[in-house]
């Protein structure tokens, strides 16, 4: 007789095709190796991600889509959803929140991974906006009077109990990526269009950041997150910091 294993599910919500790999690729690969089912949402088509003024937006978008799929495969992501919003124009508008709410109710993940929207001096507007929209949609997903049309489609309210925020000023949760950093770099490099002439600097910066986080976590290489643990309870209860000092987990 087979024992039923509980499959843990996570959703990663990013703004651009290469965000996941850059900010938390080592963690995603470690989670996949550990049996997590991981869905990736890429909100924009990234069509302005080029320094070439003569480049065709359509071609840039399609190239970046292919690169994202190749990278996701390397990291063990189970499913990629492209929302196709305009690059640089994301907002926490109701339409984006509604899309994410529907995805959460459909995927029913226990963990949300996204940008820390409260990071100081984050220069890319899409990074600020997607983090906030992803967190807002978590609240909407758990309450039936937000988007009741989803319920009519058979999607029940759903509560995500844990949020990991990357690109954060206040990391308090660390994932040891010593064994997955090479896969992270391979996946990142799959975004060929983004690294022309600057791969040595990019890969060097990624290794240096992993070593810096590793020093905080007691590992050779790590990725750091701000962790919000939000157990079932009143909507206004906010988050509780269940951590007591740096935590290493997956």
Residues 19-78 that bind Zn ion (CB under 5 A): 19
Phi–psi pair at 84, nearest 5 degrees: 75, 25
The CA-based dihedral angle spanning residues 119, 120, 122, 128, taken in that order and rounded to the nearest 10 degrees: 50
Q: Minimal distance in Å, beta carbon 124 to Zn ion? A: 6
Span of 13-21, 26-34, 66-74, 204-212 interacting with Zn ion by CB under 5 A: 13-21
**Which residues, including other chains, have CB under 8 Å from residue 175's CB and lie 6 or more apart?**
24, 26, 27, 30, 222, 223, 225, 248, 249, 250
Q: Which of 11, 12, 16, 49 binds Zn ion (CB under 5 A)?
A: 16
Tokens of 165: 């925020």
> End-to-end distance of the chain based on CA atoms, in angstroms?
29
Site string for Zn ion, 183-222 (x = CB under 5 A): ----------------------------------------
Q: Where are the alpha helices (DSSP H) in the chain?
A: 19-33, 57-75, 94-107, 125-142, 148-152, 181-189, 199-217
Q: Minimal distance in Å, beta carbon 166 to Zn ion? A: 11
Instruction: Tell me the number of residues near Zn ion by CB under 5 A.
Output: 3
By beta-carbon proximity to Zn ion, the closer residue of 19 and 162 is: 19
By beta-carbon proximity to Zn ion, the closer residue of 126 and 136 is: 126
By beta-carbon proximity to Zn ion, the closer residue of 70 and 220 is: 70
Q: Minimal distance in Å, beta carbon 14 to Zn ion? A: 7
Q: Minimal distance in Å, beta carbon 48 to Zn ion? A: 11
Q: Among candidates 59, 150, 49, which has minimal Cα distance to 105? A: 150
Q: Minimal distance in Å, beta carbon 88 to Zn ion? A: 10
- Hey, is 80 helix, strand or coil? strand
By beta-carbon proximity to Zn ion, the closer residue of 17 and 76 is: 17
CA distance 28 to 94: 28
Q: Minimal distance in Å, beta carbon 18 to Zn ion? A: 7
Site string for Zn ion, 124-163 (x = CB under 5 A): ----------------------------------------
CA distance 64 to 41: 14
By beta-carbon proximity to Zn ion, the closer residue of 90 and 219 is: 90
Phi–psi pair at 78, nearest 5 degrees: -85, -30
Binding site residues, Zn ion, CB under 5 A: 15-16, 19
């Amino acid at each position: 007789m087979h024992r039923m294993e509980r499959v843990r599910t996570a959703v990663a919500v990013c703004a651009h095709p290469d965000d996941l790999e850059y900010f938390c690729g080592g963690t995603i690969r470690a989670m996949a190796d550990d049996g997590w089912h991981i869905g990736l949402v890429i909100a924009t088509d990234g069509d302005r991600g080029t320094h070439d003024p003569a480049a065709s937006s359509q071609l840039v978008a399609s190239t970046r889509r292919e690169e994202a799929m190749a990278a996701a495969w390397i990291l063990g992501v189970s499913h990629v959803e492209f929302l196709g919003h305009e690059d640089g124009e994301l907002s926490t508008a109701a339409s984006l929140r509604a899309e994410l709410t529907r995805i959460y109710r459909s995927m029913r993940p226990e963990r949300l991974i996204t940008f820390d929207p409260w990071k100081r001096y984050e220069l890319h507007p899409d990074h600020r906006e997607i983090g906030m929209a992803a967190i807002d949609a978590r609240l909407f997903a758990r309450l039936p009077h937000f988007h009741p049309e989803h319920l009519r489609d058979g999607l029940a309210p759903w509560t995500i109990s844990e949020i990991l925020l990357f690109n954060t000023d206040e990391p308090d949760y660390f994932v040891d990526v010593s064994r997955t950093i090479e896969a992270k770099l391979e996946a990142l490099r799959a975004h060929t269009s983004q690294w022309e002439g600057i791969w040595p600097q990019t890969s060097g910066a990624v290794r240096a950041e992993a070593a810096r986080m590793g020093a905080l976590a007691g590992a050779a290489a790590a990725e750091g997150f701000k962790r919000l643990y939000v157990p079932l309870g009143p909507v206004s209860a906010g988050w509780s910091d269940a951590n007591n000092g740096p935590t290493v987990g997956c």
